[in-house]
Structure 1
Amino acid sequence: MDQWDCKLEKVDVRVDVPDLQLIKGSGACGTFSIENGRAVIRYSSDMLKRPDALAATFAHELCHYLLCEAGDPPGGPDLMEHATDCAAIYLGFGVLLSNSARHMEHSVDVGGFGWRSWSAGYLSEEARVTATAMFAALHQYDLRDAERALKPHLRKDMQKATKAIAADHPNFAASLSQIDLFNWNFG
Structure 2
Amino acid sequence: MLALFKAKPLLDEQEQQWLIDTFVWAIENFDSDYFINNTDIVLPNHQFFPDAVSSIEEMASNVFERVTNYAGMHVWPIQLVGPAQLQPQVFPHFELSNSLRGAQSKLMVTPAHRVNVSFNPNQINQPQDLVASFAGTLATIMIHHVGVLPPGGKEFLPQASDALACFLGFGVMMSNTVYQFKGGCGSCYNPYANRQAALSESQTLFMHALICHFKGHQESKKYLKSHLRGQFKKAQKEIKALVNDTANPLLLALDEKKAG
Q: Same fold (TM over 0.5)?
A: yes
| Residues 90-105 of structure 1: pairs in structure 2 closer than 5 A | 90-105=167-182
RMSD: 3.0
Q: CA deviation at 1:78?
A: 1.0
What is the match of residue 82 of structure 1? 159
Q: CA deviation at 1:11?
A: 2.2
What is the match of residue 34 of structure 1? 91
Equivalent position amino acid for 2:126 in 1: R
| Residues 168-179 of structure 1: pairs in structure 2 closer than 5 A | 168-170=242-244, 175=248, 177=250
How far apart, CA to CA, are the structure 2 residues paired with 1:175 and 1:83?
Answer: 21
1:6 aligns with 2:65: no
| Residues 25-174 of structure 1: pairs in structure 2 closer than 5 A | 34=91, 37-71=113-147, 72-106=149-183, 107-108=185-186, 120-142=196-218, 145-170=219-244
How far apart, CA to CA, are the structure 2 residues paired with 1:108 and 1:69?
Answer: 41
How far apart, CA to CA, are the structure 2 residues paired with 1:33 and 1:124?
Answer: 31
Q: Indicate conservation of the 8 Å contact 1:73/1:80, yes or no.
A: yes
Q: CA deviation at 1:69?
A: 2.3
Q: Which has the higher contact order (CA 8 A, sep 6+)?
A: 2
Change (3 A) 1:48 1:178: closer
Change (3 A) 1:150 1:44: same
How far apart, CA to CA, are the structure 2 residues paired with 1:61 and 1:162?
Answer: 27
How far apart, CA to CA, are the structure 2 residues paired with 1:97 and 1:128?
Answer: 7
How far apart, CA to CA, are the structure 2 residues paired with 1:153 and 1:176?
Answer: 35
Change (3 A) 1:33 1:92: farther
Long gaps (5+) in structure 1: 20-31, 180-187
Q: CA deviation at 1:33?
A: 6.7
Segment drifting more, 150-159 vs 45-54: 45-54
Long gaps (5+) in structure 2: 1-72, 93-111, 253-260
